[in-house]
Structure formats: structure tokens, C-alpha cells
Amino acid sequence: MGLLDKIKNGLTKTREQLITRIEWIVQGKPLDEDAFDEMEEALILADTGIETSQFLMERLKDRWKRGHIKTTQDIKTCMSEEIEKILKPAEAHLNVDAKKPFVILTLGVNGVGKTTTIAKMAKMFQESGKTILLGACDTFRAAAIEQLEVWAKRLNVDIIKHKEGSDPAAVAYDSVRASIARGIDVLILDTAGRLHTNTNLMEEMKKIKRIVNREIQDAPHETLLVVDATNGQNAIVQAKTFHEAIGVTGIVITKLDGTAKGGFILPIAHLLKLPIRYIGVGEKFDDLIPFTASYFSKAMLEGN
Ligand SMILES: Nc1nc2c(ncn2[C@@H]2O[C@H](COP(=O)(O)OP(=O)(O)OP(=O)(O)O)[C@@H](O)[C@H]2O)c(=O)[nH]1
Ligand SMILES: [Mg+2]
């Protein structure tokens, strides 16, 4: 299956709801201002957020007034084009060739899919010929180390670990030293997830970052925040909190396959202005896709 089809599959729920609502709004009546207001609500229901939905509908109304929009198909086409414009600035693929070792620090609240995403990324980099090391800095949750080990075995990559409950920054330190000593291309650090409102978590992450940075001047080269699409608007709050506390350089959005809230990716691009590196559309290795604005905007409005 091609990437566009995969994203389309992943966004099925979001798209079906959005299209059904739009078609219902415009059915059998001429387009007017009210119809656009109702479409704005449909976007908000897809978790696009008030500010971004308004912004998008203004652009659409403008095109309608200039005569670009007459049919339902025109609405879909123009909306898709305007969505692509909003998403385009967030399209920036992660280039792990830039440094050696390229250090990725992965962050996010509990259960969003950090560890799974790490495994998927490791597989992807491995396939492009890179050597990988994983650092098990989630020493907080019972079984977190074992979970990462299971992935490491499946991928046949090494892992640096300490005992449960030990200092995550010490694991990060050993991981960085080992990466340098072994000539590793990409080091990915797994971390513990707790609520973004947990100050201990933020302090722990800052310390890891500091230790990594002390060993390699410009590392971590990527501070990657993982957010879960099923959290919708709350994921935006998480992203803001992590970004303010730690400084995020890229975002991964997971679980787009299980939600009708796919619209929340728009305010991430529009308001947070952070690069979206990958999107997750399932639990398997190859269900991680580099983010491409045009694919996403098509997948939101064009059926299979
Ligand atoms: N459907 C779907 N499930 C996913 C995706 N990514 C991760 N998951 C699932 O989400 C669950 C949690 O994933 P983990 O990788 O353990 O999440 P985590 O952030 O490491 O969790 P903690 O370590 O507890 O903070 C698992 O059941 C994964 O299989 C995705 O893109 N789609
Ligand atoms: Mg984990």
C-alpha cells in the first residue's frame, strides 16, 4: 500500500464524519454565510479547534465570494487546498544524517505511544542503513525496560539499561557514552510518561537533556514529543506545556487510525508552529509515516 493510501486509511473516521457533515449542511440548498458557519462547527467537531477552524473558514468564505466555490466538490477541493497551506510549514522531515551519533530524546505523557514509536523509528533508520542504540531512560514504570528490550531483540539492536527505579539521567549518560564509543549512528532515548502537569517529570526530562548536552554539545539533536490523536485538544495543551518547559523540536502524532479527531493536527501546525515529523496509523512497524502536508490534506477530504 502506498503512503497516501495508508494515511487515507488511517484518517477514515475523521474524513467520513467531516464529509458526512459537510454534505448534510449543503444538501439541497444554496450556499450562504450560515452554511459556512455550520461547516466551521463541523471542523470544530473534528477537533480542529476554534481559532484554526475560524481561520480556515474565513479563507474558504473568501474563495466563495470570489466565485471559486459552487458545488460540494468545490468545497472539498478548496478546503483540502487551504488545509494543505496551513499544514505545509509543519512539513519538515527528520534528517538523522546531520550528526553522528544523532541523539533523539523522546517525550510525552503516559501511554501516548512513545516506546512503540521508538521501535518504528529504529526500524525505519535501520532500513536506511543506520546503526541504532536504544537507551531505556524510563526507569519509572514497572516493565518499561522489558518492553523496550523486547523491541530491541526483535530489531536486533543494542539497548542500554539500568535497574528499575534508577536515575534516568544516568542511563542517558551511559547511552551517550556507549554511542560514541561504538560509533553508533542514531541513539534514541525512551523516557517515562506521566501527566504533563507533573513537575517531577519535567525536572527529570530537563536533567536528561542537560546531561546529554554536557556530553555532546548540540545534543539532543531532536527533542521529539509524542502526542496521541485520540486526546484531541488536550494534546495541544500537552504540546504547549512540554515545549515551554523543555523545548520541543519535533512532534509525532500517534493513533490517528483510531479517531475522528484528526483535525487537531491543524492547530498543531497553525498555532504551535512546530515540525510534525511522523504520524502513527497503527501498531505495526511500518505504521509510522513521515508527515507530508499534501497527503494529509487529501486524506482528510478525499475518499478511497
Ligand atoms: N492504533 C494505534 N495504536 C498505537 C499507535 N502507537 C502506539 N499504539 C499503542 O498504544 C499503546 C501504548 O503504547 P506505548 O508505546 O507503550 O506508549 P508509551 O508512551 O511508551 O507509554 P508509557 O511508557 O506507559 O508512558 C500500545 O498498545 C501501542 O500498541 C498507533 O499509531 N496506532
Ligand atoms: Mg513507554
Answer for the pair 57, 43: CB distance below 8 angstroms, yes or no: yes
220: Cβ–Cβ under 8 A, 6 or more apart, which residues? 103, 104, 105, 189, 209, 212, 213
Q: What is the DSSP letter of 49?
A: -
pLDDT > 70: percent of the chain:
99
> Residues lining ligand 1, judged by CB closer than 6 Å?
108, 110-116, 138, 141, 144, 193, 254-255, 257-258, 280-283, 287
What pLDDT digit, counting tens, does each position of 114-136 carry?
999 999 999 999 999 999 999 99
Length of the chain: 304
Give dist(CA 72, CA 128) in Å, integer: 43
Q: Whose CA is nearest to atom 14 of ligand 1?
A: 113
Which of 145, 150, 283 maximizes ligand 1 atoms within 8 Å of its Cβ, making it the mutation to test the pocket? 283
Q: What is the per-residue pLDDT for 304?
A: 57
Greatest mean pLDDT range, 11-15, 129-133, 229-233, 263-267: 129-133
- Per-residue pLDDT for 21 more than 90? yes
pLDDT band at 195 (very low <50, low <70, confident <90, very high): confident
Judged against a pLDDT cut of 70, whether residue 196 lies above it is answered with no
Q: So what's the pLDDT on residue 228?
A: 94
Q: What is the maximum span of the chain, computed from C-alpha positions, in angstroms?
A: 69
Give φ, ψ of 66 to 5 degrees.
-85, 5
Q: Is the dihedral of CA 204, 208, 211, 214 positive or negative?
A: negative
Q: What is the per-residue DSSP string for 139-179?
A: -SSTTHHHHHHHHHHHHT-EEE---TTS-HHHHHHHHHHHH
Instruction: Assign 2 to helix, strand or coil.
Output: coil
Identify which ligand lies nearest to the alpha carbon of 6.
Answer: 1
C-alpha cell at 255: 493513533
- Eight-class DSSP state of 109: S
Q: Which of 6, 106, 116, 224 to mutate to test the pocket of ligand 1 (most atoms within 8 A of CB)?
A: 116
Encoded amino acid at 268, one letter: I
Q: What is the pLDDT of residue 194?
A: 77
- Least Cα distance to 96 among 173, 176, 184 occurs for 184
CA distance 17 to 42: 8
Report pLDDT for 6: 87
pLDDT at 303 over 80: no
H or E segment to which residue 77 belongs: helix 72-87
DSSP H or E stretch at residue 201 = helix 199-215
Ligand nearest to the CA of 252: 1
What contacts 121, CB < 8 A, 6 or more positions away?
104, 188, 278, 288
The mean per-residue pLDDT over the stretch 70-89 comes to 95
Is residue 262 scored above 90 in pLDDT? no
- For residue 103, the SS3 value is strand
**Confidence (pTM):** 0.94
pLDDT at 141: 86
| E-strand stretches of the chain | 102-107, 132-136, 158-160, 186-190, 222-228, 250-254, 276-280, 288-290
In this prediction, residue 193 has a pLDDT band, given cuts at 50, 70 and 90, of confident
